[in-house]
Amino acid sequence: MKARIIGLLMGTAILSLASSGMAQVDHADFLPGPYKSGPDVTKECLKCHEKQAMDFMKTSHWRWKGPTKGHVQGYEKSNIEYGKTNMLNAFCVSVEGGKDQAARGHCGECHPGYFWDRKEFNFSDETKVDCLVCHAQSGGYARENNEVSDFTDLRQAARSVGMPTLKNCGGCHYSGGGDDGVKHGDLDSTLNTADRSLDVHMASVQKGGLGFSCQTCHTTKDHRISGASTMLATYDGRVFCEDCHSGTNAPHQKSRNGALINSHLKSVACQTCHIPFFARTKATKMSWDWSTATDDLKLPPQEGRVTFIKGKGTWTWAKNVVPTYLWYDGTIYRYMNGDKIKDPSKPVVLMKPHGSIIEQTAKIYPFKYYTGKQPMDAEFKYLSVFQQYKGLWDTLNWQKSLEDGAAGSGLPYSGTYQFANTISYIGQDHMIAPKEEALVCGDCHMGNGRMDWKALGYKGDPMLMGGGRAKKSSIAHDVKPADLNFIQENWAAKHK
């Protein structure tokens, strides 16, 4: 009886601490094992954490879709939920490919649940929640074919659970698009061991950083993780630099030209100056041409990465890439499944930030400019879903993979196809450089070419020509000769 009371008290303590998020409990004594499967571990977790599982099953991480919340232009009043489960991109294109959406057998390996390898899945079955993928800290936890890898020590993994680390989140987010660093450009596995130069936030304290975990910025409540992407239509909260860098922590207080720099804050996002380059340690994919997927090509690697695989097509790669800069007001344009393509001779914009120089809520942000070439239905004039996993990758048969893709997506296939060029703008928010490596004024101004001022809506460099966003003033009129001298000297010193 005494042992049972102690056990009940310990269980209550765990629930209390888990709910408050104030401390981390050593679970080793509560998870004796052994365990034969991931769901066996989940059933053990549910004895104390059923609420957490129920909360998690309401999130877009679990459902892979959600309301647009005004995030997508033209869909402000839509009642349809969108997300990875029913949207296209220019990487592996879609999870819906194949009869019964068999492509989920591959794409679903990054779903935080077990056995979602076909269209039908019981989203209300809490035993399917994969607690370990986010919380295991040891045991070699890994997923394979939507199940736990045979190389995982489930008992050790279960006993090691704790708050998610960079490795937990990065296990999926670093490898978006199929491999480390492929998709985002500002996320890859080198962040796990980053020094201050790579990322001032995620670098450990020992390496001069702040030792942040992902959830330090992507704050979480009831398992809803904040953060919005230009790639997806839904989010569970927004993250802004100003969440920390405001008030007494406002930036540039000790900068020699702090007032001049701060005059930019209504027009220039923090990321623009503090992410001078992306893909600074690993090359990222800059294009994917699916039209060559069945060809016989021999192409040299770029940046140490392969550029062609039969069944997948051709890629280009780059490191230390200067971002593309666009106005962004927090909403996006997004191609949705079935959208008609008016002029197939022009590139189809899959995702692009919304905003312009005349919108006072918009700021200039950095983006990865990514291009694709992917199939579209030649008669119906929309981008096609095709079966890549256990389809084109093996059969090298476009006709068959497009027929099976139509069966999975519900978008009819006319029987004829062509290839369309696509464009995506992917937001850059990570790999924040330290202040001494941030852009200086001369990087963007004084004719150094980083900014395409005319594309942004200016007559030219506003420092030289005037014509800022305000009608009665301009940056050029506000800059003193001493400021110009400082800008030129600062730029010259940085680039000597």
Q: Contact 31/43 with Cβ under 8 angstroms?
A: no
Percent of the chain with pLDDT over 90: 79
CA 263 to chain centre: 30
71 in any annotated domain: yes
pLDDT, tens only, 214-244? 999 999 999 999 999 999 999 999 999 999 9
Q: Does residue 182 have a pLDDT over 50?
A: yes
Amino acid at 45: C
More confident call, 72 vs 467: 72
Q: Does residue 18 have a pLDDT over 80?
A: no
Q: Does residue 477 have a pLDDT over 90?
A: no
pLDDT, tens only, 394-443? 999 999 999 999 999 999 999 999 999 999 999 999 999 999 999 988 89
More confident call, 6 vs 451: 451
Q: Which pTM does this prediction carry?
A: 0.90
DSSP-based three-state secondary structure for 427 = strand
Predicted local confidence at residue 229, as pLDDT: 92
Over range 63-71, report the average pLDDT: 94
Predicted local confidence at residue 458, as pLDDT: 92
221 in any annotated domain: yes
Count of structural domains within the chain? 1
Range of the domain at 199: 57-129+163-439
| 451: its two tokens | 């900014």
51 in any annotated domain: no
Nearest to 200 by CA among 107, 271, 123: 271
Nearest to 425 by CA among 312, 333, 290: 333
Predicted local confidence at residue 8, as pLDDT: 38
DSSP percent split of the chain into helix, strand, coil, nearest 5? 30, 15, 55
CA 64 to chain centre: 14
DSSP secondary structure string, 251-272? TTTT-TTHHHHHTTTTTB-HHH
Average pLDDT, the chain: 89
378 in any annotated domain: yes
| 414: its two tokens | 């006319």
Pick the range with the lowest mean pLDDT from 174-183, 254-263, 321-330, 429-438.
Answer: 254-263
Predicted local confidence at residue 2, as pLDDT: 37
Over range 137-166, report the average pLDDT: 92
Q: Does residue 488 have a pLDDT over 70?
A: no
**Whose structure tokens read 């929309």?**
382
Predicted local confidence at residue 465, as pLDDT: 81
DSSP secondary structure string, 72-87? BTT-TT--S-BSGGG-
459: how many CB neighbours lie within 10 A of its CB? Answer: 11
40 in any annotated domain: no
Q: Does residue 16 have a pLDDT over 60?
A: no
| 179: its two tokens | 């491999």
DSSP secondary structure string, 209-225? S----HHHHS-EETTEE
299 in any annotated domain: yes
Predicted local confidence at residue 17, as pLDDT: 41
Percent of the chain with pLDDT over 70: 90
Predicted local confidence at residue 496, as pLDDT: 57
Predicted local confidence at residue 292, as pLDDT: 98
Gap between the Cα atoms of 164 and 213, Å rounded: 8
Gap between the Cα atoms of 336 and 67, Å rounded: 14
Over range 76-81, report the average pLDDT: 93
pLDDT, tens only, 308-352? 999 999 999 999 999 999 999 999 999 999 999 999 999 999 999
Gap between the Cα atoms of 16 and 193, Å rounded: 32
198: how many CB neighbours lie within 10 A of its CB? Answer: 22
Over range 59-72, report the average pLDDT: 95
80 in any annotated domain: yes
Predicted local confidence at residue 103, as pLDDT: 94
CA 436 to chain centre: 26
User: Rounded to a whole number, what is the distance in angstroms from the first to the last CA of the chain?
Assistant: 76
Over range 19-34, report the average pLDDT: 73
Q: Does residue 263 have a pLDDT over 80?
A: yes
Q: Is the dihedral of CA 44, 124, 56, 130 positive or negative?
A: positive
Pick the range with the lowest mean pLDDT from 25-29, 213-217, 292-296, 398-402.
Answer: 25-29
Q: Contact 241/270 with Cβ under 8 angstroms?
A: yes
